[in-house]
Structure 1
Amino acid sequence: MSDVTHEIPERIPVHLVVNGVGHTLDLIPWTTLLDALRDHLALTGTKKGCDHGQCGACTVLVNGRRVNSCLTLAVMKDGAEITTIEGLAKNGALHPLQQAFIDHDAFQCGYCTPGQICSAAGLLAEGRAKDADEIRELMSGNLCRCGAYPNIVAAIEQAMSRS
């Protein structure tokens, strides 16, 4: 057997603009965007659910597009603008989707709610959903284990009607 030398990987500087604030982080190459947000920037609103891109709890907006942050390496998003659930409210006022989720009681345990809201914000920006069936289809990557789907759809419809 040959000797195997394990070197500590070099850290890579990664610049992210998160919720309007620039950050340069020195990260090991395999740091996910999710871990960069939670562990390096203390933005714990974005949740780690399945860690396989199947539940959507980790959804954030990257340059306005919804992304599963658990499947995205932070180094891939160097220079990107990231919006998390913490960055949706402006000047102390809730984002219309945040308010709609409250109005429609569109959560029970709340674990999936940040990912649901970020995904819905991306959905609204895409402008592709025209009715409840299309909302359900285009939000199908975000799971709610509590089954609050009817209220989630109603909340998104409310936000669509007001935008």
Structure 2
Amino acid sequence: MQSPIDGIFDEAENCYLKPEELQAIGHYVVSIAERMSAYRALRDRELELIQQAADQLELEMPGVETAVLERAIKNGMLTLRHCGMAMLLNDPNFVQKRLLNWLKDSIELHQAQGADAAFFGLMKQQLQQSLNAQQMALLEPFLTQVETVIPAQQKEEMLTIAGIF
């Protein structure tokens, strides 16, 4: 696995960097302090925000088996950690290569889409409350990648006579 910035450095042995490559390195360097700050905030608040999301999940899904809820929480925690590392590295390939295929298979294997989707939504709510807007903006692209694998939580539709005809 190679991040975009690594690819630039690998090409440096063949020729000098192009202006757009220098610009990419400059952006990476300028934003590293912000990304490190956001990563620290995730690391320091992880237990609190995961616990709050887990408590809410139990309230919203009282009839679901504990093992299903625990798996959804573990998947959420792993997702958050992978997204945090991808944000720190500024590398969308990190999430794609290290998380998405495994997560998709896990969700399908255990047939717990509802619990995973619910927990992911609750976790995102907690993140929005725990992180500042700048930190959330850095993390959001990686969470969006995960949304391609975790199905949106389905709201139960009420069956009406009008809906039948």
Q: Could you tell me the TM-score, scaled by structure 2's length?
A: 0.26
* Higher RCO (CA-CA < 8 Å; seq separation 6+): 2
Structure of higher CA gyration radius: 2
Structure with the higher fraction of residues in helix conformation: 2
Q: Could you tell me the TM-score, scaled by structure 1's length?
A: 0.27
Structure with the higher fraction of residues in strand conformation: 1
